[in-house]
Structure 1
Amino acid sequence: MPLRRDEPPAAAGTAGAAEAYWNAMARLWQEIQAAEAASVEGAAQKVAEAIAGGATLWAFGATHSSLLTGELVYRAGGLAIINPIYAPGLTISERPLPRTSTLEHLPGYAKVVLSGVPLRQGDVLFVFSTSGRNAVPVEMAMTARSRGATVIAFTSRRYALVAPPDHPPGHYLHDVADIVIDTHVPAGDAALRLNAVDAPVGPASTVVGALLVNGLMCRVAELLARRGLQPPVFTSGNVPGGAEANRRLLEALKGRIHYT
């Protein structure tokens, strides 16, 4: 979906650019739903099969893509066996924060990060990278696959192809993943152009990424239930009985949970 130049409504009482952003995101989401349903279904089937077989799930993203890892991990309504891979220097807690822009291009760093991660054959790794061209997420996917894990990538092909990959062999993330879910995010990761504003505004990747991955997890839960398995879903600790249910879940799955 190419960027549109949307002049916000000028009438008093309108939401202005906020409404223009919401409309742009609605158009993008309609495009994604039409194009990616089959990829999401294929990913859900693979994840459900892995969980049923006793495998563990992992998630990685660099800098703002790490927010989508956080979206999956240890939260109400989410699956308990999704383990985060947080690379030192590649989360938004890094200071100085601009250092992340250098580290995500660093060849060889992904192998260092994964050297202490018990990701193994049969596991599933989600890799979030909107541009899909930086060395760390590409090498993360390649290293995981070399261990026999399945890699599911959330990335935007239209964003990736505006510039060459910086991974030395010349791969984009969508070239090296087993399953690709295309986020359709425009190059630059902003949904809106406004008159009299030089740069595009309104980040898109976190919004559509959360919708995609949470929808995928809902489908996984449904598929597990159809197999006669109880999906390992966290309950909110802020509702009666929730904390106790979560403690039982963590104890039952402690061999597949690595973040406690």
Structure 2
Amino acid sequence: MTLSWISAAQKVLEEIHRTQETAIEQAAVVAARSIARDGVVYAFGTGHSRMPVEEIFPRYGSFPGFHPIVELSMTFHNQVVGANGQRQAMFIERVEGLADQILANFQLRPHDSLMVFSVSGLNAVPIEMAIGARKAGIPVIAVTSLAETHAGPVRHPSGTRLADHGDVVIDLCSPVGDALCHVDGVAEPIGPVSTFTAVAIVNEIKVRSARLLAADGLVPPVITSSRLVGDERSSELFEAAYLDFARRAAGTLRGAGGEVGDAGARGR
């Protein structure tokens, strides 16, 4: 019996610290380069892999340049059954061609990059998001569980997994099946860990990216609690961060006719 999820999860986090140092630093370099060049780091995940996407921005202690993409059809789990239920969400994330429709909304530019989260790395939408980004010539950071992805058969017609399309691959180090704890009298393990490790990886990349950007004085406005900087300064930082995000976002969007947003059209 595994008595403590916290103890078990701490061991997984230590494994990430021991084995993923180089990949995380490489991801931070990619992210900082995009942000410094006035581009964005798109972040995408389906299912519970949307959680690190929501963690990346906007949060206290985060800054624009990271651009979350979350499709409600594949991330809204509260209903469980009925309309917008879990069955539909799990089906949709395996639909081939959907990623192309998502990416058609965005102008992928050479100074942008994409971070894709998928524990299994086997579903069509995350894989095809990475494929589409690489076809557009932008670097891909794949965050996945290597144990999980190699435990199951390849499902995508390309015969590939998400990890096959990453310029940088970060291992979540979560075990096959994700759950950590075995309880007496219960056959199945309990207590998933991949969300915990994904959020840890996101924040490590965020901090390292800030360190690289700070060396050149290029850190965007950081969203900060009023309890640290006072109400007025906190409001100023929030507004500045939102405006910076909006400015960058304007250069990423495509209209129905394929035209680029105003900022992108100006060659910002």
TM > 0.5 between the two? yes
Q: How many residues align?
A: 243
Q: Which residue of 2 aligns with 1:34?
A: 18
Matches within 5 A, 1:220-231: 220-231=209-220
Q: Which residue of 2 aligns with 1:136?
A: 125
| 1:69-114 deviation line (CA, Å, top 9, x unaligned) | 1111211111222222122411125721221111111111111111
Q: Which residue of 2 aligns with 1:17?
A: none
Q: Using a 3 Å threshold, how does the CA distance of structure 1 residues 21 and 124 change in structure 2: closer, same or farther?
A: same
Give unmatched runs, 5+ long, in structure 1: 9-19
Q: Note if 1:161 corresponds to 2:150.
A: yes
Task: Give the TM-score normalised by structure 2.
Answer: 0.85
Paired residues of 1:225 and 1:231 also in contact (CA < 8 A): no
SS, match of residue 153 in structure 1: strand
SS, match of residue 148 in structure 1: coil
| 1:122-178 deviation line (CA, Å, top 9, x unaligned) | 211110001111111000100011112211111011100111121111111110111
Q: Which residue of 2 aligns with 1:48?
A: 32
TM-superposed CA distance for 1:221, in Å, is: 0.4
Q: Using a 3 Å threshold, how does the CA distance of structure 1 residues 109 and 191 change in structure 2: closer, same or farther?
A: same
| 1:11-32 deviation line (CA, Å, top 9, x unaligned) | xxxxxxxxx1111001111111
Q: Which residue of 2 aligns with 1:242?
A: 234
Q: Which residue of 2 aligns with 1:127?
A: 116
TM-superposed CA distance for 1:253, in Å, is: 4.9
| 1:164-212 deviation line (CA, Å, top 9, x unaligned) | 1211111111101110011111111111222211111101011011011
Name the amino acid aligned to 1:26.
Answer: Q
Matches within 5 A, 1:51-90: 51-90=35-74
TM-superposed CA distance for 1:223, in Å, is: 0.9
Name the amino acid aligned to 1:173.
Answer: L
Identity %: 35
- RMSD between aligned residues: 1.8
Q: Distance in 2 between matches of 1:38 and 1:176?
A: 18
Q: Which residue of 2 aligns with 1:213?
A: 202
Paired residues of 1:64 and 1:92 also in contact (CA < 8 A): no
Q: Distance in 1 between matches of 2:113 and 2:64?
A: 14
Paired residues of 2:127 and 2:162 also in contact (CA < 8 A): yes
Task: Give the TM-score normalised by structure 1.
Answer: 0.88
